[in-house]
Structure 1
């Protein structure tokens, strides 16, 4: 509690949209068969579902999930279901999570990312009978580890003051 608390500006809808678009495009990058690749869309969805639950909710998560289904050529609705549940549970805990530091918030959002991957693996197991392997779940560890960085980056535009004054501490 010794850290200063900033009065944040309202999040711009254009910034929220552009951050979701950039996260979607980062998932387009050709990572090859690398195992420890984070899910940037899930990360940004959880962030905005926690910080702006009235602007980014379950509907946005569903649309982003459908777009990811088309991108990954997976079963239509697999990512949509996972992202919808991810957003729902993030909105459910959003008031509690905001009380903690970003490092402690990581411990709260990690089970959400893990749940998303469990849902995706269960759907794959039901549809084609193949278990993706235990390294498949490493994505949730890496995504959760990026939470403090994402928090710092996505809150940066809201921390700036409307009129800059060197004598004002906030």
Structure 2
């Protein structure tokens, strides 16, 4: 696989995450949907901070806002802030154990959801419920598997 195709793998995984983020789910489990986009962007920012960063998070956030029919820029802001924090500390985060990474991802997911809530509250006056924060539980629980899968893809196709 040549270089341009290798780099397109990053965007393919981001598109898969966007698809998983908007895929219809039964009402019972829909509120527990993990933040797939955050997981994938966090991985690529940790693995290749020179390729995926704040600008990528901003663009993907705009795409997600359009796909969800949400206020434009809300998820862009949240993802940009969270990915900025990951990019700022990527060298330290790489050396943390998976338990520490899960804990940090839980905090980042909480920050992302609270930023989205804050922006939505300012825009339309929504109220906060525990149901809104359920992805903060499921997102970090999937981190070890998403990390393992994306790492295998990156190493197999030699994406650098």
Identify the TM-score tier after normalising by the shorter chain. 0.7 to 0.9
Matches within 5 A, 1:67-146: 67-146=63-142
Deviations 1:123-150 (A, max 9, x none): 1111111114122111122111110001
- 2:3 aligns with none
In the alignment, structure 1 residue 19 sits paired with structure 2 residue 19: no
Larger Rg: 1
- 1:53 aligns with 49
Structure 1 runs (4+) greater than 3 angstroms displaced: 158-162
Q: Which runs of 5+ in 2 are unaligned?
A: 1-5
- What CA distance in whole angstroms lies between the structure 2 residues aligned with 1:102 and 1:89? 18
1:160: Cα distance to partner? 4.5
TM-score w.r.t. length of structure 2 = 0.88
TM-score w.r.t. length of structure 1 = 0.83
Q: 2:36 aligns with which of 33, 40, 44?
A: 40
Q: Any idea what SS the aligned residue of 2:148 has? A: helix
Higher helix share: 2
- What CA distance in whole angstroms lies between the structure 2 residues aligned with 1:158 and 1:32? 32
1:45: Cα distance to partner? 0.8
Note if contact 2:121-2:127 (Cα within 8 Å) is conserved in structure 1.
yes
Q: 1:148 aligns with which of 136, 139, 144?
A: 144
Note if contact 1:49-1:94 (Cα within 8 Å) is conserved in structure 2.
yes
- What CA distance in whole angstroms lies between the structure 1 residues aligned with 2:23 and 2:113? 20
Note if contact 1:125-1:131 (Cα within 8 Å) is conserved in structure 2.
yes
- What CA distance in whole angstroms lies between the structure 1 residues aligned with 2:118 and 2:156? 43
Note if contact 1:102-1:151 (Cα within 8 Å) is conserved in structure 2.
no
- What CA distance in whole angstroms lies between the structure 2 residues aligned with 1:28 and 1:123? 20
Aligned residues: 151
Deviations 1:38-69 (A, max 9, x none): 11111101111111111001111011000011
1:94: Cα distance to partner? 0.9
